[in-house]
Structure 1
Amino acid sequence: MDLCFIVILLTFDVKSAPNPVNIAYTSVALSLHTDLVYMESPPGLQLLHCLRFDDCVEGGESTYLDLFHVVEEFRKSHPRYFQILSTIPATFHKCHYDRENPYHLVYQKPHIILNHRKQVVGLNWAPPFEGPLLVEEDDVLMYYEAYEELAKAIKNSDKILTYGMKVGDLMIFNNHRVLHGRNEFKLNDGIRHLQGCYIGIDDFKCKVQVLSNQVGDGQPPKHVGNQSWL
């Protein structure tokens, strides 16, 4: 069985709901983030399909930012902070028992993942799902100083893409590399309904490499954020 071409799609709906189990199912703004960082291997590609976006809905525009670009600029402007965020691990967690399927996942990993050549090969950024640091006391202050500067670089980046989705639009982005969020919105008795799904980065890389070898220049897909340069 050729696993390279097997893709299993599990969909989820993003719309406001009473007593939501996730902030995504509210109308509040979502800061730029990576999905499911509290997992050992977060999903690679994310697809968001706009099923309904009534004209009366105010706000709710989607936002996107290439974190690889931000981090490389950050390396130049704040080399010490870059080094700190690539060595001191953050704590990412989702501990939620008050739901039908309880969650308890905790992982430690740095925000910036480097390979042996000091090249950025992975990124982790999800402020809503960060827990207490589990590090040496001497590391705490320097971590938060570096964290604050990177948070500013992300929030104030002039490369943020803001896009108001329309019915039928489908956005596809690399969840390991591209941060996403949304602006706050008011329904005004209308409906904003997106449907999403995830695809593993390995399925994507496999297909791209096969096509590159068969009909392209044979170059490997890089910078996909799967903690490997190749």
Structure 2
Amino acid sequence: MTPIATPLYAQVGVGTPPPGDAKILFDGTKQSLHTHWTYWEGPRLATSLPIKWALVKDPVDKGMVVNSNDPAAAGGKYGAADIVTKQKFRDFRLHIELLIANKGGNSGVYLQNRYEIQVLDGDSTKHGMGAVINETPSPYHAYKGLGQWNAYDLVFRAARFKNGRRIEKAMVTLYFNGIKVHHNQTINQVWGGRNSGIDGGNNGGKGITDTPGGLKLQAEGHNVLYRNIWIKELDLKTADTDF
């Protein structure tokens, strides 16, 4: 009997290939980096184009990857050299792979340049690895550790509004290295203030607005590497991100 293939949208984990209708945001080339990404022009921006994130050899496999250790972010100055996609998104399926090279390495994956999925070695609190930052416990058990490739696979649904008022909060389901760690998790606000992302300076991060945003990767002055980043736009009619 011929085995039934798992649909691409349900595949998760390191090495997951993009479906044919996904957009490849980073494939290890300078062209993909400079075509799809730019610096986030937040209040703390301290650098200028072209992007200074270095392409380096993959320390585990073949190919090239990008290092988030932008010189402008030295000392953990988040917001100084974060990169964000030029395209803005509402609902989407995202795959991204990350490797933390050194103890305490810190970065972050921001959905709509608002809501952070934390990337932080050594922290298993609500501010730690794999957490919807400050809103869920860290699923630290799913983390492979330093020098290893890890994968976030998620479906995100943007907040919904009526007459300018938020009536449904943003929602995410996340697999961390193939393990479902957050299921239909609602997200209340933007954390980290105005230097963190869109709406961070609005009413203490609670003033969420009805505007799309790009996928953002945070520079915090650490050697955190990224590869195999792809996204598929969705239109989720109901508040359900399960997959």
TM over 0.5: no
Larger relative contact order, structure 1 or 2 (CA cutoff 8 Å, min sep 6): 1
The structure that is strand-richer by fraction is: 2
Question: TM-score, normalised to structure 2's length?
Answer: 0.29
What TM-score comes out, normalization by structure 1 length?
Answer: 0.30
